[in-house]
Amino acid sequence: MECEIILQIFSGGFLGETVSYETVEKKLLSVLPALPVKKVIMGWAPGKALYEKTAEFLAQRNIDFYLWLPVFSETGAIRELAPLIDMHGRPFETVKSLAAEDFSFYCPNNPRNIDKILDIFEQEFAAVPFSGVFLDKIRYPSFAQESVFSCFCPHCLKEYEAAHFSPPALENALSRPMETPLGIKSYLGNGNYVYEDNDISKYFSLKAGIILKSMQRICAFFRERGLKIGFDVFAPFLSAFVGQDLTGFSNLCDFMKPMMYRVTNGPAGLPFEMEAFLSGTNSGEAAKRQAFNEILGLDQGKKDFDLDFTLNELRRLASSCACPVYAGVEINRKENIADVKPEYIEETLPAYARTGIRGLVLSWDLISMPEENLKKVKEIMEKLN
Ligand SMILES: [Zn+2]
C-alpha cells in the first residue's frame, strides 16, 4: 500500500498572529505536486476567511481538510475553564500568555469545561466546510508540565470514590522508596505498564478512563456534524502518564498520529519528555535511569533518540489499533527546539514507513519547514511509493 502524507500547518494560536492565506497557498503549491497528500491539518487561529479559502483550494484537489483544534489545553485562553486541582485541593496555576502556544491544562472531567470547549468550535469554526477535526491536547499534563498528579476536583473525587480509589493511598505509595521510576516492573507495549503498587496503577488507569469517556462525548458531537476525526497523541510509552489509552482511542477516531519526534527538545519530543519523566519521578540517578531503559528495551547511548525502539513502538501500535496510524515526524526547524536536518529525515522517514503504518504526518508546521528538508522528503517519497 502507498505510504500517504499528511501535512500540518500551524496558522497561529487563539491569541496573537495568524498566517496569511497567500503564505499557505504558496507553500501548498510548492509541495503538493511532489507528494502523495490526502489530508491537510490546519489550526487554530480564529478567523474564517483563511480556512474558507484553504477549504476551497483543497476541495478542488480532492484533499481532506482537518481543523487542528486543541482540547484540554490552550482553550483556556478564550474561555473561562475550571483548572486542574492538586492532591491538597489547590488549583494548579494557569499561565495566560500571548505566546503562540500555551501549556496550561484544564480538568477533562468537568462537563462545563467540555461544553465551553465545544462552544469554541461552534462559534469560531462551525461555518467552515472542514472534512474533519484533528484533536490535540486530549490529555493531562505530562511530567514536563509538573502537574501530573491531578485532578482532585469534586468531579474527579466522585469518580475515584466510586472506583474505591483513595488519593491519600496514592500519596503514600508515591512517598515510598522505589527501585524503578514509579515502581514500574515491566512494559508490555502500547503504553501498558505493570506497576509494583496497585494504587499507582489504578490512578493512571482511572485518568485514562476519564479522558476516554470525555472523548466519547466530544467525538459524538463532531460525528453528529458529519465530521471525520483525527487524534494527536503521545508516543505509546509516554501516553500512559498523560491519561491516553491509545488502543481505546483507536475505536473513536478515523486516524491517530503518535508524535514520534526523536530530536525535539520541547513538549511531546521524545528526548524532552523522557528527561522530564525521569526528573519528575526522582529517577535522575544512573541506577534508576538504567533500570528504566532496560524495562523499555531502550538504548539511551545513541546520538538521537533510539530509532529501533521507536520502530518497535510503531509496529506494536499499528498492529493493535482499530484505525490507521500515521507517524508524526518533525520536519520543521525551530531554533533550540527542533534542529531537524536532512540526514535525520533520511534516517527516520523510510524506517517509520516500514512499520505497518498508513503514512506520515509532516509535523508540526509546514510553513517553517526549510526547503532542504522538504526536498529530502520528496526524494524519499519518490523511492518509497
Ligand atoms: Zn477534575
| pLDDT tens sequence across 137-163 | 999 999 988 789 999 999 999 999 999
| Centre of ligand 1 from the C-alpha of residue 91, in Å | 10
Give tens-digit pLDDT for 328-338.
999 999 988 99
Give tens-digit pLDDT for 329-380.
999 999 889 999 999 999 999 999 999 999 999 999 999 999 999 999 999 9
pLDDT confidence of residue 145: 84
Q: Are 208 and 255 in contact (CB under 8 A)?
A: no
Give tens-digit pLDDT for 224-279.
999 999 999 999 999 999 999 999 999 999 999 999 999 999 999 999 999 999 99
pTM for the predicted model, two decimal places: 0.97
Q: How many residues appear in the chain?
A: 385
Q: How far is CA 373 from CA 170, 265, 339, in A?
A: 46, 18, 11
- Residue 385 grid cell: 511509493
| Centre of ligand 1 from the C-alpha of residue 212, in Å | 14
Predicted confidence band of residue 93 (pLDDT cuts 50, 70, 90): confident
CA distance 351 to 223: 34
* C-alpha closest to that of 64 among 39, 33, 41: 39
pLDDT confidence of residue 94: 61
CA distance 364 to 284: 29
pLDDT confidence of residue 235: 98
| Centre of ligand 1 from the C-alpha of residue 205, in Å | 15
With a cut of 60, say whether residue 100 has pLDDT above it. no
Instruction: Say which residues have a Cβ less than 8 Å from residue 341's Cβ, sequence separation at least 6.
Output: 373
| Centre of ligand 1 from the C-alpha of residue 96, in Å | 19
**What are the structural domains, with CATH classification, of the chain?**
4-384 (3.20.20.80)
pLDDT confidence of residue 198: 97
| Centre of ligand 1 from the C-alpha of residue 332, in Å | 35
Average pLDDT over the chain reads 95
| Centre of ligand 1 from the C-alpha of residue 124, in Å | 26
- Residue 221 grid cell: 458531537
CA distance 104 to 72: 9
CA distance 244 to 113: 19
| Centre of ligand 1 from the C-alpha of residue 269, in Å | 26
| Centre of ligand 1 from the C-alpha of residue 82, in Å | 8
Give tens-digit pLDDT for 111-121.
999 999 999 99
CA distance 351 to 339: 20
Q: Grid cell 461544553 — which residue?
A: 115
